[in-house]
Chains A and B, each alone.
Chain A
Amino acid sequence: MMLLNKLQPPNVQPAALILLLGLMLVLLPHFSHLPLWLSLVTTSLVIWRACYELQLCKIPGKLILFLFTIMLLVGIVLSYHTLVGRDAGSAMLLGLLCLKLFEIKSYREISIIINLALFSIVINFLFNQSIAVAFTMLLALAVLFTALIGFQHNYKKLSQLTPFPIDIIRSSEKQHFKLAFKMLAQAIPFAIVLFILFPRVDGPLWGLPEDAFSAETGLSDNMSPGRISQLSNNTSVAFRVQFDSAVPGQDKLYWRGPVMWNFDGYSWTAPSNERIAISHFEFTGLGEKTNYTITLQPHNTFWMFALDLPSTLPDRSRLSANMQMLSLSPVQKLKRYQISSYTRYILPTYSQISLERYLELPETNSSSPDSNLYKSRQLIKKLKVPGNPQQTINNVLNYFATQDFYYSRQPPLLYNNPVDEFLFETKRGYCEHYASSFTVLMRLTGIPSRIVTGYQGGEINPLDNYMTLRQSDAHAWSEVYLGDKGWVRVDPTAAIPPGNIENTDDAIRLNSTLKKPSTLFKSSWLSKQMKQMHFAWDAINNRWNQWVLGYNNKKQKAFFEAIGIPDITWQGLSQLLFSLLAILTALLALIVFSNQSKQYNDIQHYYDKFLKKLRKADLTKENYEGAADFCQRVILKQPDSKSAIEQITQLYQELRYKKYSEENLKCFKNKINSF
């Protein structure tokens, strides 16, 4: 059986190689989410086809292709356990697209492949919309269209439409690329106008697959200190803040997120059946109110963040009984909200929930030395100051500060009795360990307490004054209830002495938390420059997020308000859109059709004048007659003006077919006028 097609006659199609290059560019960003095997398979299929184009190898026949397809589908099912949804669907699309490369028989397949490649670019944007990806895709677009032009230029050859030899200019691919680039450049103004003015619809039109949005966050709805041995170092942006009032000090920058109060001995959770929504704020704000706007990156959960403690609620959000702000629907796209907070406050406990639950601990036999929390109970007997909870808290914090506790991002794992193991054996951990053990100790002394997670700190970008919170800024702290002082924030991690930090990165990160000037920074010129560049890049990214990715219905309205058209309606938008598009189209027509040379018009104009003069003498140039032939004929009839006619004809031919010069045109004009 013939499984491999025969080699084609030597006829390398540069356009095919360009198409493969474009395809590679489209595939590149997909590799970050495709399984490794599929990345390798798609790349090697593209390379295979390229080798075939260069006549280095053969391509598989129909039967092998069919087997490949089956293997691809099986592989995807094994990797994703499904064939539908965003992730599996895109994997399948890309795999089949690369297999389609071996079915190119005519121009039709080429156009299908290019359409699929364009679709893959959109799929790309579902995973990643960064500036880098956007520009790579713009380049991919130019390359794909270069290939299309190349095929279009020679397409008759490809599809064997004609039995006749075709005469084409050997035009370089560079020319095709220039044309593709030029056309893209001409299209961009239209696209920008459409982008700004096209009426935006909010929300999905129908239900999206479950994996439609994915995002990493440094937070989770449960916390199990010691179960995970490494703290994420993810520096991706969690949210950005723009302060309308003074920026609070670093020690006030606690961004409140999920609150957990249920402890089973290993993990902290916030049981999700709690559906109490607080509509009004029952706390007393002290001091100045801080006003700011948060731009939250999508993270696919309900959480929203605010500076501890928010005094207003944005639209479509609610508060839980633990004063956690929650969105009414998962945050699946960039979310912007204005909000204000008091950084100093007195927060009474929520009246409808008893304080009992903030004291609960797993049931254990307290007398057995092997039992859970046995050592902790022993410790608390020493540290507890009856009747003075504040003193007890200070004693516990002091214990952390003096008993050789270390801050470590890679602490040892904890097993059966995590709190005791941490407090008396390993003594190494990060915020979760400290917050968890502190809260347990508080409950053992009878002080109601809970865990608050969120973000701490934030970096102000001096270029655009936006503050950036990253996933690596994720933090956990405690809240204790002190009677009339209400819920008070205690950050046990901050009690660790700066010297007890295991590596410098942590020191830098914790610098703000520890409230002490650190000498660990080496502020050399280079690091300053790096920092500056980092800020610049971050500011660009922020603009991108704010104005490109976050451009929605609201932003559109805000934009038109800013340029002086408040309350623009759907109809108004369309009218404006169409009139702007009409203007752009007229401009485009002007640019494209103005290629008709003015020079040619001038030359022809004078030559026509010359012909008109001759017509008076009954000498008419026939259509089929060339200028030279006509000249000969005229000279026979009018031998007197031989030299003038010859000169005019020569100038005409030179201007028209050889080299144009203003001088010659002037000469030409004068000669005709005086003729």
Chain B
Amino acid sequence: MMFATFKAKFNLQRFFTGEGPKPTPYILTQRRVYILPTRQGLAFALLLFIMLIGSINYSNSLGYFLTFLLASLSVVTIFHTYNNLLKLHIGPAICKPVFASDEACFTVRVNNLDQHNRFSIGAFTPQKLATTTDINENSLSTIIIKHHFEQRGRIPLPRFTIESRFPFGLFRAWAHVQFDQTQLVYPKPSSHTTLPVKSAGLAEGKKQLDSGTDDFKGLRSYAEGDPLQHIHWKSFARHHTLQTKEFSSTTSNELWLNWLDTTVSGIELKLSQLTRWLLLADKANLSYGLRLPNSIIQPNTGKQHLDACLKALALFDHNYHGSHDVTE
């Protein structure tokens, strides 16, 4: 047991990649912050060496003193650089769902509970997207971490590195930080597709189109994916701008986005297409429902509904889907 903790303590892995996911707030304790000279620091050391040799050679007392003073200064800067990171409370991150391969920005809370300012605190992910910030004494700040997620689903937040070279840049203190939080990543919307005009509930759809016209509400500017039947051709003739007729009836616009209607093959591509459809349908302010092999979301509108549908796509489990394939 003792040996195990000892091993964990001196695990070289911690130096390069950190401790792995940890609950927030992640406190930068002495064990978690590392410090090493930078390239500039090494050049400075070389300069000091030359100065020392020169001072010895010329027996120059002030040369000695200056050399010693600069050497002492670099020792002092170790403490200051280290202290610039020490005891920062990092996290939790506030992350809004993103689409795969979009740039995700998650805001990380950085809490400075000490009575001294922190300067030039940098943060970067393994993808090397860096930001820096200052944090006043006893105050809360945020760092924005940017990251590209390639896969959909609940993805663990990436490891990122907090670093500081303040004040002289001779040393770099850093800590690897990874939260036990996850990021919800929606499938990447496919680029070119339009809403399926022939939706699964064909009969219902016909009915919608017939009766829907009675409850005409008003006009709004055309958005990609609006059904052709709803375009207000008269205003197009007059103003040369496309206007779409809006209908107040919820039932009249009901649209089912069905897994089986997708025109591409492959699970991820199908999900991409469905994602785009969802976005188009939401934009067109249609009432839409989602029919997946393993779940059905009843037609509705609004942001929450969209999020629920996207979440269902993001978390869609294809193994589960396989067993239901037969019933369809």
Residues of A with Cβ closer than 8 Å to B?
A: 107-108, 111, 115, 118-119, 121-122, 125-126, 129, 133-134, 137, 141, 145, 148-149, 151-153, 155-156, 161-162, 164, 166-169, 171, 179-180, 183-184, 186-191, 194-195, 198, 201-206, 208, 212, 332-333, 548-552, 585, 588-589, 592-593, 595-597, 600, 604, 623-624, 656-657
Contact B65 A195 (CB under 8 A): yes
Assuming A122-B54, A166-B132, A171-B119, is B69 touching A191 (CB within 8 A)?
A: yes
Contact indicator A137/B66 (Cβ below 8 Å): yes
Q: List 27 A-B contacts (CB under 8 A).
A: A108-B40, A111-B40, A111-B169, A122-B67, A125-B60, A137-B62, A153-B166, A156-B130, A162-B129, A162-B130, A167-B132, A168-B132, A171-B119, A187-B72, A188-B69, A188-B72, A191-B69, A194-B71, A205-B53, A208-B58, A550-B61, A592-B80, A597-B114, A600-B138, A623-B25, A623-B92, A624-B92
A249 to B64 Cα, complex, angstroms: 40
A166-B131, A168-B134 known; A118+B83 contact, CB < 8 A: no
Contact of A126 among B56, B58, B119 (CB under 8 A): B58
- Apart from A151-B169, A202-B59: 9 A-B pairs, beta carbons within 8 A: A145-B168, A187-B69, A187-B73, A189-B72, A190-B76, A194-B72, A195-B68, A205-B53, A596-B115
Residues of A within 8 A of B56 (CB): 201, 205
Chain B contacts of A108 at CB under 8 A? 40
Question: In the complex the two chains form, is A179's CB within 8 Å of B66's CB?
Answer: no
Instruction: Provide the bound-state CA to CA distance between A204 and B58, in Å.
Output: 6
- Give A506 to B47 CA distance when docked, in angstroms: 50
Q: Please determine whether B76 and A183 come into contact, CB atoms closer than 8 angstroms.
A: yes
Closest residue of chain A to B143 (Cβ to Cβ) is: A167
B132 A119 Cβ-Cβ under 8 A:
no
Q: What 1/0 flags go to B47-59 for Cβ under 8 Å of A?
A: 1001101111111
What B residues does A152 contact at CB under 8 A? 120, 165-169
**Contact of A148 with B169 in the complex, beta carbons under 8 Å:** yes
User: Is B87 engaged at the interface, CB distance under 8 Å to the other chain?
Assistant: yes
- Chain B residues closer than 8 Å to A597, beta-carbon distance: 113-115, 138
Contact between A183 and B60, CB atoms less than 8 A apart = no
Given contacts A119-B51, A188-B69, A190-B68, contact A595 B114 (CB under 8 A): yes
Query: Once bound together, how far apart are the Cα atoms of A161 and B115, in whole Å?
Result: 30
**Closest 5 pairs (CB-CB, A-B):** A190-B72, A187-B72, A194-B68, A191-B69, A169-B134
CB of B120 within 8 A of CB of A153, answer yes
| B-side interface size class | 35 or more
- Tell me whether B114 and A600 are in contact (CB under 8 A): yes
- A121–B66 contact, CB under 8 A? yes
Give A198 Cβ to nearest chain B Cβ, in Å: 7
Interface set, chain B 91-136, CB cutoff 8 A to A? 92, 113-117, 119-120, 122, 129-134, 136
| B146 sits at the interface (CB 8 A) | yes
B172 to chain A, nearest CB (A): 11
Nearest A residue (CB) for B142? A167
Which residue of chain B has its CB nearest to the CB of A111? B40
Chain A residues near B119: list those with CB within 8 A: 153, 169, 171
- B308 sits at the interface (CB 8 A): no
Which of A107, A125, A624 sits near B169, CB closer than 8 Å?
Answer: A107
In the bound complex, residues from chain A placing their C-beta under 8 Å from that of B47 are 115, 118-119
Is the pair B73, A596 in contact by a Cβ cutoff of 8 Å?
A: no
Q: Is the CB of A595 within 8 A of B55?
A: no
Q: Are B55 and A122 in contact (CB under 8 A)?
A: yes
* CA of A118 to CA of B59, assembled, Å: 18
Taken together as a complex, chains A and B put the C-alpha atoms of A164 and B86 apart, in Å, by 25
A137 to B65, CA, bound (A): 12
Considering the complex, give the chain A residue whose CB is closest to the CB of B168: A148
User: What residues of chain A lie closer than 8 Å to B83, measured between beta carbons?
Assistant: 592-593, 595
Find chain B residues with CB under 8 A from A119 CB: 47, 50-51
Residue of A nearest to B61 (CB): A549
Q: Does B223 contact A (CB under 8 A)?
A: no
